Each structure stands twice: as C-alpha cells, then as structure tokens.
Chain A
C-alpha cells in the first residue's frame, strides 16, 4: 500500500515536472514579448532596462532554471502587464473561481439527482423523455453559446438577473463570497447555471442509470414488502446507493469545472482566474500563463492522486494490477 502511494506520488511529481518544462519552453517561443509590453515610444535605453528587469535577455535554459528554483519558493515570476507576482494575482482570483465551480456543482447535484431519479423510476413517461432529451442537449450545446443565450434572455430581455461581475461580497465565518449577499447570489446564478449545465446532464444520466439498476435489487423489493413508504424507499434505500458512482464522478470532474470556467468567466466577465488566463494568453503575459498552467496542473495531478489512492483503498484489485 505504502509502496503504491509512494510510486503514484513520484509519478505525479514527474508529470508536474514534464508539464512545467513543456509549458515553459513552449510559452517562451511565442512571439516577442518585448514588442507587446513595452511602450512603442520608449527609447532604446528604456527598452533594454525592461528586458533586463524581466530577464528576457538570458538564455531560455537559464530562464527555466531560475523559474524552477523560484517555483519551489512559490515565486512564479512577475506579470508583465500588472507588474505584480503572477502567483499572487492568480491566488487573489482563485476564490472567485472556486466559488463559481462549487456553486455550479451544488446546482448540478440539487437539480440533477431528483430529475435523474424521476427519469429512472418512470422511464416511459413524457416528462422523463423530456428530461433525457434535455440532457442530450446539455451535452451537445457549447458552454459559451448557452451563456450567451442565458444573458440574452434573463439579463437583456427580461432584465431579471445581472450578467457581469461578482456583485456585492459578504463575509460569513471568515469566508468572503458572493453567495452571502442577495446581490452576490443574483450575480452568481447565471454563470453558475451555465457552468453546471454540462455536469447537470451527466448527473442526470448517472442518477437515471443507477436508479434503473438498483430499483430491481432484492433489498428494494424487501423494503417495499416490509411496507415502508415509497418516499422512504427512495430517499434512504435508493438514494444512498446511487450516490456512490455520482460522488466519484463529481470528485473526479471538479477539475474540469475549473478548466471550463475559463469560458464561463469570459462570457460573464466573472473576475476569476479563468478570465485572467484568457487575457494573459491574449497579451502574451507569459508569467501568468505559466503560473496558471502550473497551478491547474497541480490541482489536476493532486485530484487524480487522491482519487487513485481512494480507489486503491476501496478496491484492492486496482492496487494489485498497478503493482504487477
């Protein structure tokens, strides 16, 4: 077990290292940041001073070496555009992104599970067919387009909900977030729903598939035979058992919510790290791009590691196969 965790962790570190190398070398080959970042009216001395300050005159290998050493010390370079440490800028915006991702996850679960159970219990009813058709649409529709439609309908046409920014922030138990004020909630609803749509579709499908399978099991028949109410059978016996695969998939895919938030944040002008990275790619603000990618790779590798270890604890076959 220990050997498995150790080897898996080493593998993760290796992935991180390879990704950092690829990202850094690649990003350093893009365009010429000098042209992008220095005022065209600056004189030669000024240009040279900025190049020296940014370390752009050093060989790429040396830049990477400094980058690696600095990364271990939590310093991933200064943003060319903001002149502040890249890591600090990203961490400042991380709460907004996490808040959005968590809220969409919540929406996906709260709406997805009941809809999925309903579709599983009455697979032939018209409502179930509508739900399933909706979930196919949810899979097919590009996130950014749904965002546009939501803005057009709820913000421009009906004027019910705001479509840009985070709104007023509230603090509760030391956590500052939009969801603690009414204004903030109204701001988060549209982007969160937009981000949730894809996950919502997969939760519906998982819940439906789980329900159809579990409803045939003996313990459900037994619970009914005991005379338990249908509500209790569904809320206790069924729900508990369909939750296992759903929770696994959701845990695994939390990272993809953060990745897709780049799109949603851009559409809704949500001041999170996803919007920051898109702008940084535009401006060739390399330290931000590198720092963001390193952070997101770190998040992914960690999530995968946790899921793998949890699996190996729950299911010894994974461990044995991994060691063979």
Chain B
C-alpha cells in the first residue's frame, strides 16, 4: 500500500500484504465488529439447513394450528418458537435463516456477475479508448442517470418475476457502477511503465488487461463491490416486498416482510419486524465494512 510511515518501530519492517491489510483494517473497532457480524450472518446463510430449528418449507413439519404465535410460544408438542410463527405456522427464526440464504445468495451472485461484466466493460473501454470507449461510457452515463429502483422496475415489468429474472435485473442495474469504477482506475494504470513493458513484450491485449491491469484495479472494485452488494440486497428486498421480485417458492427476507405486512394492522408485529431487523443488520454490517475498506484503500488518507 505504497508509503508506509516509518515512525513506529514495528512498521519499519515491511509487513506482508495480508498482515498489513489486517493491521490497517483492525484500526477501527466498529469495522471489526461489523466484519464479525457479517461473517456470522454468512455462516448462518450457508449452513441454514443444519442450524435452523425446523425446515420452514417442509410441509410435514408445519402445522397451521401454530399460525401467528407470538415470540417465545411453545406448541403442544413442546417446540419452542423463539421469534414466533407466521400466518402459515412456520417458525420465524427458521424462515429468517432460510431467507438470509436466499437474500445473500441472490445479492452476492448478481454482484459477482455484475462485477465481472462491468469490470470487463470498463477496463476494455479504458484500454482501447476511441469510439468504443465513448459508446460504453455513454451507455453507463445514461443508465446511471436513472435511479436503480426505476431500472429494476422496467426490467421486471419487461421480463416478469422469478429468480433468474430478478438476478438479471440486479446485474443490469449494477454493472454500470463497476464499469465506471474500473475505467477510472484503468485509465491511470494503462499509462504506467509496466503496461508499456508488457506491450513491448508483444503480449496480447487480452493478457495485458487480464493479468497486468486487472490486479492493479482490484482495490476500488472491491470497495464498490461491497457497497453495491449491500445495495443489491436492499433492492432485491424492496422488489420482493412489492411482489415483483422473487417468487413465493424462494422466500427472501423482503418477501417475509411483505407477508407479515398484512398482519401488522392486527398487531402481529413479529412477522414483519424480525426479518426486517435481520435485513437491516446485514445491510448495515456490509456497509460499515465497505466504508472502512474505502478509507483503507484511499491513497489520499496518508496511507
């Protein structure tokens, strides 16, 4: 990370990349806490089927008699519903675990594809320049002048609802952000000596972009990626809440919140509130990690 101040004794020894990164990262206790919370959520999402008290989508284990039980209730066979049950008698805690799985899965997958596609567009635009660059960046500009919720609504109005369609919508909404970030850093990188050296070696454009320029543009892309993933999760939740995103067979947190909305007027707050809190914790923790990463990678902040 370039200039290291040599005032402190331990910093005189150049630390290895990862160690240095962790030393920088752990400066903020809030960001460390956020990272731990995020990793916990990730763990829950990945291992949801093993750690959930019940399988909320196994019809045999769900009893309609247990519908809308308040948090902490027990049914006749002594099963405890820590966070209560929803309108169909499903355990909320288990539903939230499974919902996290869907929300995080959709968010992370669409983010990853958007990152790869957007970065490729941005890097190639910066590298080749000319008309191609103008065309790509004009599309990016036009797209970014519309709010993401509107873009997503247009795409879902066109394609209809469904898992793949929601993922497509999220990818199409996000790629422009990655393209812009990738182009900005590639414009700086492409004029550096190492690229010139690679060109002198007559390496192919593909190889120069992929194995020389791309690794040096990763830092800003990781930052954009973290913040965008939080944004994608929030957007997916919004779309699913509106009933336009994921179908009822793949209940994400947004859908759970939407399901609970109808019961709220009768005072059954837990069906909506707990999935919402899970969503909020997820988004805030990712945002805090992303914000701190941005500070670490920002060269203007003395690092």
Contacts and interface: CB of A to CB of B under 8 A. Distances in A.
Given A289-B157, A296-B150, 10 more contacts: A26-B154, A142-B237, A142-B241, A145-B241, A145-B276, A148-B261, A149-B273, A152-B269, A156-B264, A263-B241
Contacts of B244: 278, 281-282
Interface in A74-92: none
Given A30-B160, A256-B147, A300-B146, A142 B238 contact: yes
B184 interface: no
Q: Which of B153, B261, B265 has the most CB of A within 10 A?
A: B153
Contacts of B265: 156
A27 B238 contact: no
Interface residues of B, number: 37
Interface string B277-292: 0011001100110000
Contacts of A277: 153
Given A23-B154, A26-B158, A152-B264, A140 B242 contact: no
Contacts of B283: 140-142
Q: Is the interface of B mostly helix, strand, loop or mixed?
A: helix
Interface string A106-129: 000000000000000000000000
A262 interface: yes
Nearest to B269: A152
A144 B159 CA distance: 23
A241 B158 CA distance: 45
Contacts of B146: 259, 297, 300
Interface of A: 15, 23, 26-27, 29-31, 136-137, 139-145, 148-149, 151-152, 156, 255-256, 259-260, 262-263, 266-267, 277-278, 281-282, 289, 293, 296-297, 300, 304
B26 to A, nearest CB: 20
Contacts of B150: 259, 296
A302 B238 CA distance: 27
A104 B146 CA distance: 20
B14 interface: no
Given A144-B238, A260-B149, A282-B243, A149 B230 contact: no
A152 B265 CA distance: 7
**7 residue pairs, one from A and one from B, having the closest CB atoms:** A26-B158, A256-B147, A259-B150, A259-B147, A145-B276, A142-B234, A140-B284
A297 B143 CA distance: 11
A27 B157 contact: yes
B145 interface: yes
A263 B238 CA distance: 8
A304 B230 CA distance: 27
Contacts of A289: 157
A136 B160 contact: no
A304 B145 CA distance: 8
Given A15-B142, A142-B279, A148 B257 contact: yes
Interface of B: 142, 145-147, 149-150, 153-154, 156-160, 230, 234, 237-238, 241-244, 254, 257, 261, 264-265, 267, 269, 272-273, 276, 279-280, 283-284, 287-288
Nearest to B272: A148
A151 B264 contact: yes
A267 B157 CA distance: 19
A30 B159 contact: yes
A202 to B, nearest CB: 13
Contact of B273 (A23, A29, A152, A304): A152
A278 B58 CA distance: 32
Contact of B158 (A27, A156, A260): A27
Contact of B276 (A15, A148, A263, A282): A148
Contacts of A256: 147
Nearest to B283: A140
Nearest to B286: A140
Contacts of A141: 280, 283
6 contacts: A23-B154, A143-B238, A152-B264, A259-B150, A263-B238, A277-B153
Given A139-B287, A260-B149, A262-B149, A144 B280 contact: no
Contacts of A15: 142
Nearest to A296: B150
Nearest to A26: B158
A30 B287 contact: no
Contacts of A266: 242
